[in-house]
């Protein structure tokens, strides 16, 4: 009788441990995905400011040239 209860307790403990390990692995994957998203956003933000500055500079040059061209052709 004790042998059966002992085996049942071991099986239950093994199932709980397996469930805990699976849960920890899934949480680790979720945290890794969240970190990757954060890291990507951080890098994009780092390069976004100079890119927008360069884009605004080119757009200003374009508008100035168009304005100058229309004034010259009047």
Instruction: Provide the 10 A C-beta neighbour count for residue 48.
Output: 11
Q: How far is the C-alpha of 68 from the C-alpha of 54, rounded, in Å?
A: 21
Q: For 25-54, write each residue's pLDDT tens digit.
A: 999 999 999 999 999 999 998 999 899 999
Q: How far is the C-alpha of 47 from the C-alpha of 38, rounded, in Å?
A: 15
Tell me if the pTM is above 0.75: no
Q: How far is the C-alpha of 33 from the C-alpha of 38, rounded, in Å?
A: 9
Section 2-11 average pLDDT: 90
- If you average pLDDT over every residue of the chain, what do you get? 93
**Is the predicted pLDDT of residue 2 greater than 80, yes or no?**
no
- 7-25 CB burial, b ≥16 within 10 A, e <16: eeeeeeeeeeeeeeeeeee
**Is the predicted pLDDT of residue 1 greater than 70, yes or no?**
no
């Amino acid at each position: 009788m004790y042998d059966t209860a002992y085996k049942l307790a071991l099986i239950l403990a093994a199932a709980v441990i397996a469930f805990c390990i699976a849960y920890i692995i899934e949480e680790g994957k979720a945290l890794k995905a969240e970190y990757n998203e954060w890291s990507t956003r951080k890098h994009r933000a780092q390069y976004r400011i100079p890119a927008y500055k360069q884009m605004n500079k080119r757009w200003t040059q374009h508008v100035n040239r168009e304005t100058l061209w229309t004034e010259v052709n009047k």
